[in-house]
Structure 1
Amino acid sequence: MKAAFLKHIQGEFLEFQDSKLLVAVSGGIDSMVLLHLCHASNLNIQVAHCNFHLRGEDSNGDQEFVETFCYKHGITCFVQEFDTEDYALTKKVSIQIAARELRYQWFNDLLNEKSLDYVLTAHHLDDAMETFLINFTRGTGIEGLLGIPEKNNKILRPLLPFTREEIERYASVESIAWREDRTNAETKYVRNKIRKDVLPILKSLNTSFSQSFQNTLHYLEETSEMAKDASSLYFKEVVCVVGKESHFSIVRLKEIPNFRAYLHTWLKPYGFKAWKDIDALIDGETGKMIFGIEFVLLKNREFLILAPKSSINTDESVFTVDNLQSVNLPIGLEFKEVESSMELGKQPNVIFVDSEKLVFPLTLRKWKSGDVFYPIGMHGKKKLSKYFKDEKYSQIEKENTWLLCSENQIVWIVGSRMDERFKITNTTTKILKIKLNQ
């Protein structure tokens, strides 16, 4: 196995050259074999051991065993003790998830603090089979079936092509000592049940099951890459990025075969899971929204708009503007008296009003149902909701719109349209320039 390991890392892990490696060692057979192989291959290694304090004195025995091995072989060993049960209770997660999160958080900290390059873990082919079957029984897509990646950023798994049988044989031949975790025999855990009951049956049905499984993973990886390539091409056709927002053209989306699957793929990284609701949103009414943890998906006519929740301003505060005092919050408005109308012109961020028609203090607020104004250049009043609809405002744009008001009358839909009642006329004696500073 040593020769096969060397060949594998020389062919697939060029990262090992001139790199400082952190080997995660629990003391079990898998991690001790990995440590032995790395040490025998003269790799530049240091060891990290986690004591989760979940098995009483056995946990302390594991720690002492790993520390003793490293001391005898001149290998630097880092040890971290965790109150795993308290962490799981605080975070409201299972013990297994708590241990995983604590372990990888600490590994990442060690990489940064000790200027190390990669973490090596001892996951092997049987682990990959177990993960495949666990995800398969729960229902998953290609990514879930692929299971454990050989390389995941700074986490590398050089034993992944090797079976548990090969690892046990190598440990026996090389007389490698290890610590036995008694919980591995408990079938109350799904992984252990698959290991003890399911995998032996599959291997008995096909003596080459391990190789067949590797071939299947290879085909799945190729399929996954093809799907990613197609997804990337379709994404460019469907999505237009506007500032912090992503606009999905529904017309173009529906032209794609199996378009819902692509949409789910694009939205999954943003924390969305309510796929039935999202599918219904495609043909839903304008203004409907689905909220994720940090993002919102909005139906706006012919588009689905993905935006951060923070971009939807639902603040109901009212800000006052005394006299000609400029304001900076929540938006920047600049007030300036001008002598003449020489500056007059169409600028969406600037208006000129008859100063004597204003009653200070002015107010700056969000729109509300029932608001009306008199659009400049038009006769009569118009509901703000109707104006937004005619101007094709999205729900996000409506929520982010501010109104500058004099008493209860709208002076300006800031950045869009002013009110006819405050325009400059032949009898105007004082002109006030109001500018939105973006």
Structure 2
Amino acid sequence: MKTDIFITKAEKFIKDKTLIQPGDKVVMGVSGGADSVALLLLLNSLKVKMSLSLYVVHVNHCLRPEADSEALYVEALCKERDIPFFLRKVDIKALSRELKIGTEDAGRKARYEAFEEVLTEVGATKIAVAHNCNDRAETMLFNLARGTGIKGLISIPAKRDNIIRPLLFATRAEIEEFLAAEGVKFCTDASNLTDDYARNRIRNNILLALEDSINGGATLHMFETAEQLSGLYEFALKRCEECYRDACVRETETQISMDARKILTMDEYLQSMLIKQAIDTLVPGNRDITHV
């Protein structure tokens, strides 16, 4: 994809989703892979126009022999563009054992902790990560297979709290075409080419089969569906907030009391959202609830 077309599409997506405002300080997570390198190039192209202050964080997971050279590559990209570079080195295998979680979860935890740390250090307000359209489709399928609701089918939102995803509109192929047009290389994580992880199996087999055998636009269609569901979910959330305020009788740090008679007059979906919101208020981040 030609550079000007890609950047125009990106600017429209950023504006439509209100991801970045003029004068923002943005921390970017850059691994050196195609997606994150494209993110770096994109935001750097908007730096002067939008008066942005940019910072790059690279987390070395100490999992692969090429990890050190990838860190050096990202540092060089930043140096060429006069972007402050922050390197964090974390033994992900050790962290995984310590926390008794998988290496994927440990890596994600380490990355976002590093992003937040640098965000605080430089006084930034946003963290930009490089999820793309394919990532969203893969996550949607992953969540659907495990069992999920509307929120899980939305999978990866363009914005959540201070985390933004300016490349969510673009397919992986479009991103690689953009990099080719820019003449910029990227690093390839060989572990992404294996079927060792569930997400890789979805990426390398299921999604490809859908595009090859069912519809070549399957990935984009799933993105569009997620966008529609996102709008529906936002509407439902606002309605839920109204119902919560109306039904809540008493709220403390350990207890929430609601008027059952008012709840019973609501639609079933709103009832489940209301109860889920009450649980989330008392136990933030609870991931063990399977159904309400």
Q: TM class, shorter-chain normalised?
A: 0.7 to 0.9
Find the counterpart in structure 2 of residue 23 from structure 1: 28
Give distance in 1, aligned partners of 2:7 and 2:234.
Answer: 31
**Aligned residue type for 1:97:** D
Give distance in 2, aligned partners of 1:49 and 1:169.
Answer: 23
How far off is 1:191 after superposition? Answer: 0.8
Q: Structure 2 residue aligned with 1:265, among 270, 273, 276? A: 276
Question: Deviation digits for residues 283-321 of structure 1, max 9, x if unmatched?
Answer: xxxxxxxxxxxxxxxxxxxxxxxxxxxxxxxxxxxxxxx
Aligned to 1:123, the other structure's residue is in SS state coil
Give distance in 2, aligned partners of 1:36 and 1:275.
Answer: 40
Find the counterpart in structure 2 of residue 210 from structure 1: 219
Aligned to 1:15, the other structure's residue is in SS state coil
Q: Structure 2 residue aligned with 1:256, among 266, 287, 292? A: 266
State how 1:90-169 maps to structure 2 within 5 Å.
Answer: 90-169=98-177
Question: Deviation digits for residues 152-188 of structure 1, max 9, x if unmatched?
Answer: 1211110001111100111122211111100001102
Question: Deviation digits for residues 70-111 of structure 1, max 9, x if unmatched?
Answer: 223322111011121221111111111111111111111111
Asked whether the equivalents of residues 9 and 16 of structure 1 are also in contact (C-alpha less than 8 Å), the reply is: no
**Aligned residue type for 1:249:** D
Give distance in 2, aligned partners of 1:60 and 1:176.
Answer: 19
How far off is 1:224 after superposition? Answer: 1.0
Give distance in 1, aligned partners of 2:30 and 2:46.
Answer: 17
Q: Does 1:70 align with 2:78?
A: yes
Find the counterpart in structure 2 of residue 80 from structure 1: 88
Find the counterpart in structure 2 of residue 194 from structure 1: 202
Aligned to 2:209, the other structure's residue is in SS state helix
Question: Deviation digits for residues 339-398 of structure 1, max 9, x if unmatched?
Answer: xxxxxxxxxxxxxxxxxxxxxxxxxxxxxxxxxxxxxxxxxxxxxxxxxxxxxxxxxxxx
Give distance in 1, aligned partners of 2:187 and 2:210.
Answer: 28
Max Rg structure = 1
Question: Deviation digits for residues 262-301 of structure 1, max 9, x if unmatched?
Answer: 454234413465678xx8xxxxxxxxxxxxxxxxxxxxxx
Asked whether the equivalents of residues 92 and 107 of structure 2 are also in contact (C-alpha less than 8 Å), the reply is: yes
Asked whether the equivalents of residues 133 and 220 of structure 2 are also in contact (C-alpha less than 8 Å), the reply is: no
The structure carrying a bigger strand percent of its residues is 1
Q: Does 1:226 align with 2:235?
A: yes
Give distance in 1, aligned partners of 2:19 and 2:108.
Answer: 27
Q: Does 1:54 align with 2:63?
A: yes
Aligned to 1:18, the other structure's residue is in SS state coil
Structure with bigger RCO (C-alpha 8 Å, 6+ apart): 2
How far off is 1:233 after superposition? Answer: 3.1
What's the C-alpha RMSD, in Å, of the aligned pairs?
Answer: 2.2
Question: Deviation digits for residues 112-142 of structure 1, max 9, x if unmatched?
Answer: 1111221111111000001101000000111
How far off is 1:5 after superposition? Answer: 2.0
Q: What is the TM-score with the length of structure 1 in the denominator? A: 0.59
Asked whether the equivalents of residues 240 and 274 of structure 2 are also in contact (C-alpha less than 8 Å), the reply is: no
Cα 1:131/1:268, change in 2 over 3 Å = farther
Cα 1:14/1:225, change in 2 over 3 Å = closer
Asked whether the equivalents of residues 264 and 275 of structure 1 are also in contact (C-alpha less than 8 Å), the reply is: no
**Aligned residue type for 2:272:** A
Give distance in 1, aligned partners of 2:278 and 2:16.
Answer: 36
Q: What is the TM-score with the length of structure 2 in the denominator? A: 0.86
Question: Deviation digits for residues 188-235 of structure 1, max 9, x if unmatched?
Answer: 211111111111222232233233223211221122123223322332
The structure carrying a bigger helix percent of its residues is 2
Give distance in 2, aligned partners of 1:10 and 1:86.
Answer: 41
Cα 1:253/1:117, change in 2 over 3 Å = closer
Instruction: Give the unaligned 5+ runs of structure 2.
Output: 1-5
